[in-house]
Structure 1
């Protein structure tokens, strides 16, 4: 078995020099977990979220009941949306937080198609998360478009393209796409783009306004630490607001929320992308996670992410494993993926040993490195256990 002990001193030095190291104390750290390497699936629980939700349950829900709506709850989708917007380069009034990622994505795709009448193709990558492709197929079918599932979205864009749906970071390999460059290419062809930011929001610098992005969606339970199933965010550039059409109009997106009018009239701004009553507890949890990400700053999170992934790849090379994540830090997100013969079994053995990774069929082991909570020492501890597990199970190629 490869001896990783010589790297222990360097991991300690990296932690000592880490400007974000103190933020680990802001999160609940389970003493039974040797290394949590799945922050790209679910972020750790912020201590401040525990406190905020306890206050909400006791004093607001418990103490104010329905009066809470007029005392601030009603504005939470936009208020928290603007706070998320700071992390993704969106000025106020263009982002809302509500609904699941899937629902937000369905709305964004329908709205995007409505912006480009007269075109008949929707383009999506074969590498995208399954839900993205499922929804693209259904939207294409419902709107009378030809769906193109392609390996290279950039190469497929032409004068028939209405909408391109693109993931900023490949959920399997961690490969990072050029958001400004691809957006410009889509626009040059006369189409609009919908970006999936689930694996980049909070850990990759994003400037949606500067890049001219049309619409974007992202989850909040990964690097934004909003909690399991926390509501997603949806961004729509203000230049499109007057023409946005979405498939799920509801009272929360009406121009007069409490008019209960027989005829639906959409709100004039980003609120028109809402539907029904928002999940207040979920929004408050997202708000706490976003506050931590904002305090850290995306540039600092990105710098640590690059250092963590570089260190991880170095150790995996020492172990002789096949890394499928790009080695150029400018081309990868914040998780590192290796190809193993039986990734599921290895993941299960690691979890039994207190190391929590993730796997993707048929043979990919993902190591999600969350810069606000993952230390270099913790990462090395996890990779040391990985080396031991692989030594026990034998050849992994």
Structure 2
């Protein structure tokens, strides 16, 4: 009991000293007793969205109606993309667009990059990926390779340490067209050295595409400085865009005119309203759009971008590290005696915004925790994932949730 009391007091002190503590009140439900450990899957709704949605319905939709396309909506995918780029991606304007799902944008960019590589050098028929990547990434890579007469070459990945520079160098070569990797692993939270692995790709004459779904809004990203070619990411995790909110795509300016994306829709045409017989790709990032932008789905994330722009991504990262370090220390003290091991990197420099705890009972423990309004998620093998959103998670919430994990695990093991 002494350890529990000490952690509770420490949580109170950490919250009192937290420069981001006022941000938590900006989310619906943060005042409730429910413990939310799944902000890295679906973020809490920002409170500002309640007024924003109402104002949208009464104003641009009801009052301006179709005129809103000319007045603001046509430009929104690019304006919002530039905001995400500046606040969270380290990307200059004109390289990021919002629209479509992560899967669709992955398909567009993987195929566009593969086709461009083969056109330049017919030997480049390989797409390099790792088997520990998120299933969608692997499925898209396999599908594009089969569709375009290519093949997949799998890089060695440690489940808790990702793909390192040596493993990637031993995998790529003169036949590599594209490398597809996640910056932060969805399972272990391992954070890759994106700059180093991007250099490996370029040394081999290949392009690289980074999946930023578990990075954007939680850890600093520097796409331009790292020399990244392509990136995609979702907006419903740390950007709090809501279920199914549209993803974003980044294409470095140097590649935009030479890449041909495969889903030719009217929004990507050079003259959207020409309605002519032929498709001519628009200049810049517009060519990577296909259909009508999901305007409603772009509303909620703007409230979180307001917060990120106000506090800065470095402050968010500092709190993220403090949260995950606190979770690891509590786990070491309270859960390791029950046989729980850390399935995430212990060094925070290599760890993203979540922590995965491993034990054979974690599937059952997760189900029981949900019944108690403590919401982590489960990932095979044996992983209970603690997702900590720096803007909306308090240290006290984290401490309460970890105590519930310990109590539930103890009860499960006693059955």
Return closer, same or farther for 1:220/1:355 CA change in 2, 3 Å cut-off.
same
1:379 is paired with a residue of what secondary structure?
helix
SS of 1:64's equivalent in the other structure is: coil
Offset at residue 395 of structure 1 (A): 6.6
Q: Distance in 2 between matches of 1:4 and 1:380?
A: 9
Q: 1:126 aligns with which of 131, 142, 148?
A: 131
Per-residue CA deviation, residues 77-101 of structure 1 (Å, 9 max, x unaligned), is 1010101111101111100000001
Aligned to 1:145: 150
Query: Hey, what does 1:101 align to over in structure 2?
Result: 102
Work out whether 1:210 is the aligned partner of 2:225: yes
Determine which of 381, 401, 406 is the counterpart of 1:387. 406
2:20 counterpart residue number: 20
Please give the root-mean-square deviation of Cα atoms over the aligned residues, in Å.
1.4
Structure 2 unaligned regions, length at least 5: 158-162
Confirm or deny: 8 A CA contact 2:26 2:46 kept in the other structure.
yes
For 1:162, what is the secondary structure of its paired residue?
strand
> Secondary structure of the residue that 1:127 maps to in structure 2?
coil
TM-score (norm 1): 0.97
Who is 1:340 aligned against? 359
Mapped partners of 1:184, 1:362: distance in 2: 32
Q: Distance in 2 between matches of 1:64 and 1:112?
A: 40
Shift, 1:33, TM fit: 4.1
Q: Hey, what does 1:54 align to over in structure 2?
A: 54
State yes or no: 1:356 paired with 2:356: no
**Deviation of the 1:28 alpha carbon:** 0.8
Q: Any conservation in 2 of the 1:203–1:301 contact (CA below 8 Å)? A: yes
Report if aligned partners of 2:361, 2:412 keep a CA contact under 8 Å in 1: no
Query: How far does the alpha carbon of each residue in 1:316-344 deviate from its partner, in whole angstroms, 9 at most, with x for none?
Result: 11121211100111101000001121322
Structure 1 unaligned residues grouped into runs of 5+: none
Shift of 1:363: 1.1
> Matches of residues 320-331 of structure 1 in structure 2 within 5 Å?
320=336, 321-331=340-350
Deviations 1:287-318 (A, max 9, x none): 22222222221100111111110110000111
Give the SS at the match of 1:156: coil
Matched residues, number: 396
Partner of 2:213: 198
Corresponding residue for residue 65 of structure 1: 65
The answer for the alignment partner of 1:189 in structure 2 is: 204
Task: Say whether 1:258 aligns with 2:277.
Answer: no
Give runs of aligned pairs for residues 249-288 of structure 1, distance below 5 A: 249-288=264-303
Mean Cα displacement is larger for which, 56-65 or 25-34?
25-34
Give the Cα–Cα distance (whole angstroms) in 1 for the partners of residues 55 and 142 of structure 2: 43
Partner of 2:91: 90
- Once residues 256 and 295 of structure 1 are traced to their aligned partners in structure 2, the CA distance between those partners, rounded to angstroms, is 37
Residue 324 of structure 2 aligns with which residue? 309
How far apart are the structure 1 equivalents of 2:102 and 2:258? 22
User: How far apart, CA to CA, are the structure 1 residues paired with 2:31 and 2:15?
Assistant: 19
SS of the equivalent of 2:391 reads: coil
SS at match of 1:217: strand
Check if 1:376 corresponds to 2:376. Answer: no
CA deviation vs aligned residue, 1:41-84 (integer Å, no higher than 9, x gap): 01111111121111111222122211111110111110101011
Residue 251 (structure 2) aligned to one of 222, 236, 249: 236
Query: Does structure 1 retain, via aligned residues, the 8 Å contact 2:361–2:409?
Result: no
Report the secondary structure of 1:51's partner residue. helix
After TM superposition, list the pairs within 5 Å mapping 1:214-225 onto structure 2: 214-225=229-240
> CA separation in 2, counterparts of 1:197 and 1:297?
18
**Closer, same or farther: CA 26–81 of 1 in aligned 2, 3 Å:** same
SS of structure 2 residue aligned to 1:45: coil
Query: What's the CA shift string for 1:357-388, capped at 9, x where partnerless?
Result: 01112411100010001111110000011111
The answer to whether the 8 A contact 1:140-1:146 is kept is yes
CA shift for structure 1 position 31 = 4.9
Q: In 1, Cα distance between the equivalents of 2:368 and 2:310? A: 36
Distance (whole Å) between structure 2 residues aligned to residue 395 and residue 325 of structure 1: 26
| Structure 1 stretch displaced more, 334-343 or 306-315 | 334-343
- Secondary structure in 2 matching 1:242: coil
